[in-house]
Structure 1
Amino acid sequence: MNQSDNKTTRFLLADDHSLIRQGITFLLEDFKIEHELFHASNLQQLLDSVKLNPIDIAIIDAHFPDGNSLSILAELKKMRPEMKILIFTGIDENIYSLRYLNAGADGFLSKMNEEEEIERAIRKMLDSGEYISSVTQALLKSSMKNPNLINPLSSLTERELQIAEMYAEGLGNLEIAGKLDVKQNTVSTIKRRIFDKLEIENLVELIELIKNNQ
């Protein structure tokens, strides 16, 4: 995606914090390129905007009040195959960047970066349609030797994975507790730990992850 043809670049800024969107807006204004901005503060607005508008580059947070963007990346790409997606988030790049790239993102940028790196990342998205940081490059090299790095389920313990699979089969807390001969509140605690590790909010997202990674 080269910006030299003077066409208007359509950006979607998707983040539930308006200050983040405002900061990127100021940065884009400094680029002196023809651009149009669309905003979204939750997953539903994000999906609606992509469906209705020919977005060129979507800058998307990982986490929203109504869920995690990891679960909808495939759907976004299906709607707009040419659209480039930059994940711009505060979650740990070492743990999560490969998961997002594997799910369809074209770049992963930590909000912990200095402004210069954020600018460089957006310019790379404009020029080549992708941004791979030095951290993620190292992870990509490691993943060639260890493919499990791109599978989010690999972060779960054997017991956590067992319980996650039971949830995916449609079992509830009481049934799982009975099958494993543990207390129901133990199952609830492990469920919360699974959700925290996988950065998900609900069972629908868990089922989707298990379906896509096994």
Structure 2
Amino acid sequence: MNYKILLVDDHLVVKAGVSIILNNEIENLSIAYSSDYFETIHLIKINQYDLIVLDINIPGGKSTAMIAEIKSYLPNVKILMFSAYEEESYALRYIHAGADGYLNKLSGEDKIVEAVKSIMTSGKYLTSTIINKLNDNHRNNEPVNPFDKLSNRELEIAKLLVKGEGNLEISNCLGIQMSTVSTYKNRVFEKLKINNLVELIEKYKLFYD
């Protein structure tokens, strides 16, 4: 029986390359293709797949929300995130959302084959980096999303800062003193382990874009 894979990527070269690598190394594969998220949803509504190799940054994509939506149509399908984004920053976010593995596009041919074989046999592909990160978070009782550590007011202020609002605008918007805004801002930076607004924006995009 063929193991059915849907390879989702908007770059033809990537799809062709990965397909050649997998077909050369793994027997009995049936590989289909999709170039955007809308086409992906259409295909999974009318076909069954064992594994979806899913690029994070595809046209029409919905970040981590794609995982739950795909599994609402195919509850037993495995999802391997395939992205150029660095593993350490992005992998946990998608694993936490329900993905079964995360593979960097810069990985060599052997890693691509290893990832697919691992999911075929065990249902998961977790590198040592991901496992160590998961263990660290569990040991330190750290949430996957660091913004979960913020109070409602701190998160509210963080969002306003990300939108480009200054202390004065936030003070007027929330009806609090500017000194209070500064206090909350310092707490946000401390809890997120960041030093400036640029780092706040970058971290926020990781978890909410």
Shorter-chain TM band: 0.7 to 0.9
For 2:37 and 2:141, the matched residues in 1 are separated by 29
Cα deviation 1:21-58 (Å, max 9, x = unaligned): 11111012113422222211111112222222101000
For 1:60 and 1:155, the matched residues in 2 are separated by 29
Equivalenced residue count is: 184
Letter in 1 for 2:64: L
Aligned equivalent of 2:30: 36
Letter in 2 for 1:53: N
For 1:153 and 1:65, the matched residues in 2 are separated by 27
RMSD: 3.5
Which protein has the larger Cα radius of gyration, Structure 1 or Structure 2?
2
Aligned equivalent of 1:91: 85
Aligned equivalent of 1:81: 75
Letter in 1 for 2:107: N
Please tell me whether the aligned partners of residues 86 and 108 of structure 1 are also in contact (alpha carbons under 8 angstroms): yes
Deviates more, 1:80-89 or 1:47-56: 47-56
For 1:53 and 1:140, the matched residues in 2 are separated by 33
Give the TM-score, by structure 1 length.
0.71
Aligned-residue offset at 1:106: 0.5
From 97, 122, 125, give the equivalent of 1:103.
97
Aligned equivalent of 2:139: 145
1:58 aligned to 2:65?
no
Q: How does 1:173-184 map to 2 (within 5 A)?
A: 179=173
Aligned-residue offset at 1:161: 3.4
Determine what percentage of the aligned residue pairs are the same residue. 31
Give the TM-score, by structure 2 length.
0.73
Instruction: Name which structure has the greater RCO, CA cutoff 8 Å, separation 6+.
Output: 1
1:70 aligned to 2:77?
no
For 2:149 and 2:87, the matched residues in 1 are separated by 14
Unaligned runs of 5+ in 1: 1-6, 167-172, 182-189, 207-214
Aligned-residue offset at 1:91: 1.0
In the superposition, relative to structure 1, how do residues 72 and 195 fare at CA in structure 2: closer, same or farther (>3 Å)?
A: farther
Letter in 1 for 2:51: I
